[in-house]
Each structure stands twice: as C-alpha cells, then as structure tokens.
Amino acid sequence: MNFETISVVGLGYIGLPTAAVFAARKKRVIGIDVNEHAVATINRGEIHIVEPDLDMVVHAAVTEGYLRATTTPEPADAFLIAVPTPFKADHEPDLSYIEAASNAIAPVLAKGNLVILESTSPVGATEAMAQWLAAARPDLSFPQTHGESSDIRIAHCPERVLPGHVLRELVENDRIIGGMTRKCSEAAAALYKTFVEGECIVTDARTAEMCKLTENSFRDVNIAFANELSIICDKLGINVWELVRLANRHPRVNILQPGPGVGGHCIAVDPWFIVSQTPEDARLIRVAREVNDGKPEWVVKKFEQSIQRLLSSNLGKSTESIVVACLGLAFKADIDDLRESPALAICQNIAEKFLGHLVVAEPNIAKLPCALASKATLVDFRQAVEEADIIIVLVDHKEFKAIAENSLEKKIVIDTRGIWDIAK
Ligand code: SAJ
C-alpha cells in the first residue's frame, strides 16, 4: 500500500511527535486539532508541549513543508486518531473524543483509506469507532460488514511511548498492530514500517486494546506494591529506598520506586478501563489503583504532622509564619505535564488548609495553574529551598536532584521521591 499523505487527528503528546516523525520520513502530514492555539503554534514551526528534541523535529518538518496543521480535516491516505480517552466520574471510559474525531474525518474518507485508532481504549472501542464511521458514511464499506473486501481498513495500534523519551521510543519500540481483519493489519503494519525500527506484531483489535491496558495495569500494580511498602516502612522506621535497593539485589526481584502517587493520563486511568468492564474479576487491579490514589492523602498527613512537629519544637512560632516549599507539580520528572498529577493534588490540598506561606517550584512551567495561583507563589527552586521551613519533594526533576544537601540543614524535609536519600 502507498501512503503519501497521512492525517494525524489530535496533536498532543502522542499525535504531534507521531506526525513529526512521519514528516521527517518525507511523508506529507496533515495534523488536525480542535485547539486553534496548538494549530497556529505548530504552523509557526513551534510546539505547545514539552518533550525533548520535539521542537527541532517539528520545526524542520514545518519549514521543509512536510507538516501542516489545521482545524478542518482534509482527504488523506491514512488517518491516525490520537485523541484523549479520559474516564467519567464513575470511572467509565469516555469515548466522546474518539466519536467526535470519527465524525470529523468521516466526510473526507475515501475508498482505500486506512483508519488507525492509537488512543488507549477499552476493549471494543475500535469496533465502536468503525460503527461511527460506517453510520456517517453509508456509501463506503467497512470491515465489520465486508471483512477483507471492505473499502476502509481499520486497526487499533496503541501508542506505548514514555513521555520524556517519545522520539526515541516511537522509533525503537515494538508495535502491536490490531487490525479488524488481516488486510487491515497488513496495511497498518506497512504504514508504521515507515519509521518503526522495532517489530510490528500483528494481532486482532480487541487483543491490541487489552494489551495496552495490561501493560499500564502491570506498571500500576507494581508501583502500588512500592507505595504500600513505603507506608509500611514509614511505620516500622525503615528507609524504604534502601530496602528497595537491597531487595532488588535478588536476581528475580525488581521493585519499582515509591512516590507521592501515580499520575499522568495513562497509568492512573487505563486500569479503570479493565475494572469498569469486569468489576467482579479485576480485584487486584482495582486495589492497586486505590493504593496509588490514596498516597497523596498520606503525604498530606505527613505534612500536617511536620507542622505540628515544627510548632512544638519552636514554641514562639505561629503557623502563619511557616514557609512551606513544594518542589514539583508535574506528574513525573523533567516534563511539564500536570495531568492527573499527584504533586498538583497534594499542593492544592495543602494550599486549601495551610495558613502560612506556600511557595512552589516547578522549573517546567511559567505560571501556576488557576486553582493554585491565588494561594501560592511560583518561585525558583533555589529560592524555595532557601526560604522554606518545610520542604516537600514531589517530583524528582533534575534541578532538584542537584540541590546541595547542606542547603537542607535545619529544615524539615518530606522527600516523597527519595532524591536526597542519605542512605544511598
Ligand atoms: N511512578 C512511580 N514509581 C515508579 C515509576 C513511575 O511512582 O517506579 C509514577 C510516576 O512518577 C508517574 C506515574 O507513575 O506519576 C506514571 O509514570 P510512568 O513513567 O510509569 O509512565 P507514563 O504514564 O509516563 O507512561 C506510561 C508508560 N507505560 C508503561 O511503562 C507500561 C508508557 O510506555 C505508555 O506509552 C504511557 O504510559 C501511555 O501513554 O499509556
């Protein structure tokens, strides 16, 4: 199959790098997004997200004329849908962005096109997408009714890249290709081979959907184990970072790192897609989510205890005079992404209750999110450390790791990431 023009719908953390990588292989790429600011930024050759080296690749792709962004879908040979799949209040998956993207591209679909769903999705979402497209285009035939002879090929190929390493992982990672038919898979594999150096492994759409959910649930369960250990160790007076290091010396043990909770739009979300489809059976997966979701509250309790400790050891001191520094708001190190961030949730919780002065250091953002703006001050991390009585490390950003340990003397430190672990 020949794919000269590729349309990527959704120019976020996955769609934009994917569009840029196709463009770097000299494919004509049309990026579609409902966000006019994102479209205008990309068309200037700039980017609206933080991801190492992405700015250079997008700049080159746009100036060489291979990548162009627009809010209105245009005809193409292949369409990749990379829109968000959040969950609703009851943890049910919200497929409305996929439905909206399907309805947006349906009018420009043509016989021979390939449509790929990249968004992480509950089992059955690819079939739902195929139904939405078929309902909008009764003049075309689709795999669910016409099998291998369909006009339109449809596949689910979940993205699996790690934020912060997206450009490398897009090229190097193996890719799971879940076509609705064998020809759908072959078409999708041919498209990805444009830039994927890993293996393209073919399966069906439902297995591909479940595979992605399984990968992230596996990680969530393993982080929950580390987080539970950190709470147990705190009670027993054991340094959890040292404990994990020692246990990991066993050849078949590989415990992940405890933290302030699990954030991001993937690991904190995707396991719920399994739980919501099979609530009776997904017991371990649900409890892991609950353990990880409970960790921010535990950190806030540690903070409250530290205030009491400070007040009882400094009898003249008032709560109002205490300066607290939260280091980091992003959901993990060296990115600007605040989505589902436990650090942000902890900071907001503290801001609501705490009567003293709250300073926040987050080197990857220029201003505080609205919910914090009136209650905290965004400062340089060095200033935050200098001013604070209590320092709460919430993200292991490289800037924080470089802070000299002697600047922490006489301060209460709650290090949820173990970056200044003295037992190292
Ligand atoms: N975290 C810990 N301890 C650890 C590892 C992570 O507390 O030992 C926390 C992080 O701080 C963060 C959260 O977990 O808050 C998630 O971070 P992450 O680095 O584990 O994963 P994501 O969400 O950035 O990316 C994941 C990846 N999935 C897996 O590693 C199985 C990535 O490959 C997926 O493409 C991505 O989800 C996605 O888009 O689904």
Residues 264 and 376 occupy one common structural domain: yes
| 157: in domain | yes
Backbone φ, ψ for residue 154 (5° rounding) = -135, 135
Atom of ligand 1 nearest to the CA of 417: 7
3-state secondary structure 67-101: EEEECCCCCCCEEEECCCCCECCCCCECCHHHHHH
- Check whether residue 10 and residue 125 sit in a common domain: yes
* Both structure tokens of 39: 């479209």
Length of the chain: 424
Structure tokens at 270: 């995707």
Nearest partner of 326 among 370, 290, 356, judged by Cα = 356
Whole-Å CA distances, 140 to 78, 79, 80, 101? 15, 16, 19, 18
Pick left, alpha or beta for residue 265 (phi over 0 → left; psi -120 to 50 → alpha; otherwise beta).
alpha
Q: Is 60 in the pocket of ligand 1 (CB under 6 A)?
A: no
Are residues 163 and 14 located together in one domain of the fold?
A: yes
**Do residues 261 and 190 both lie within one domain?**
no
Domain boundary among 165, 198, 231: 198
Are residues 179 and 85 both part of a single domain? yes
Distance 266 CA to ligand 1 centre (A): 7
**Shortest-distance atom of ligand 1 to CA 220:** 14
Contact by Cβ (8 Å): 82, 116: no
CA–CA separation, 262 and 296 (whole Å): 9
CB atoms within 10 A of CB 71: 13
DSSP state of 369: -
Question: Count of CB atoms within 10 A of residue 214's CB?
Answer: 15
Is 269 found in the same domain as 140? no
Taking each helix axis from N to C terminus, what angle separates 54-63 and 15-24, rounded to the nearest 10 degrees?
Answer: 50
Residues 410 and 261 in one domain: yes
Q: What is the pLDDT of residue 143?
A: 98
Which DSSP category does 190 fall into? H
Cα(394)–Cα(417) distance, integer angstroms: 7
Does 120 sit in the ligand 1 pocket, CB within 6 Å?
yes
Q: Residue 246 falls within a domain, yes or no?
A: no
Known catalytic residues are 212, 266
Burial 86-112 (b: 16+ CB within 10 A, else e): ebeeeeebebebbbebbebbbebbeee
Rounded-to-integer distance, Cα 34 and Cα 16, Å:
13
Q: Which of 162, 171, 170, 155 is nearest to 207 (CA)?
A: 155
Work out how many domains the chain is built from and give that number.
Answer: 2
From the CA of 262, how far away is ligand 1's center (Å)? 8
**pTM assigned to the model:** 0.93
108: which 2 tokens? Answer: 């420009």
**What is the distance in A from the centroid of ligand 1 to the CA of 309?**
34
DSSP assignment of 244-275: HHHHTTSTT-------S---SSSTTTHHHHHH
Q: Please tell me whether residues 186 and 261 are part of one structural domain.
A: no
The C-alpha atoms of residue 95 and residue 276 are separated, in whole angstroms, by 14
pLDDT at 164: 87
- Tokens of residue 407, six digits: 């600047």
313 alpha carbon – ligand 1 mean position (Å): 39
Q: Give the domain range for residue 294.
A: 254-415
- What's the CATH number where 343 sits? 3.40.50.720
- How far, in Å, from the CA of 270 to the mean position of ligand 1? 11
The answer as to whether 96 is a domain residue is yes
Q: Which run of H or E residues covers position 297?
A: helix 283-313
Q: Which of 198, 221, 240 is the last residue of a domain?
A: 198
Beta bridge partners of 67: 29
**pLDDT for the residue 49:** 87
If asked whether residues 22 and 122 sit together in one domain, one would say yes
Rg of the Cα atoms in the chain: 24
From 214, 227, 266, 334, mutation site for ligand 1 pocket: most ligand atoms within 8 A of C-beta: 266
- Among 154, 174, 198, the domain-final residue is 198
In a domain, 341, yes or no: yes
Residues 70 and 182 in one domain: yes
Neighbours of 161 (CB within 10 A): 19
Best residue among 156, 162, 255, 257 to mutate for probing ligand 1, ranked by most atoms within 8 Å of CB: 162
211 lines ligand 1 (CB under 6 A): no
242 contacts 423 by C-beta, under 8 angstroms: yes
Mean per-residue pLDDT pooled into runs of 10, the chain (424 residues): 94 97 98 98 94 95 98 98 93 96 98 98 98 98 98 97 94 98 98 97 98 98 98 97 98 98 93 97 98 98 96 89 97 90 98 96 95 95 97 97 91 95 58
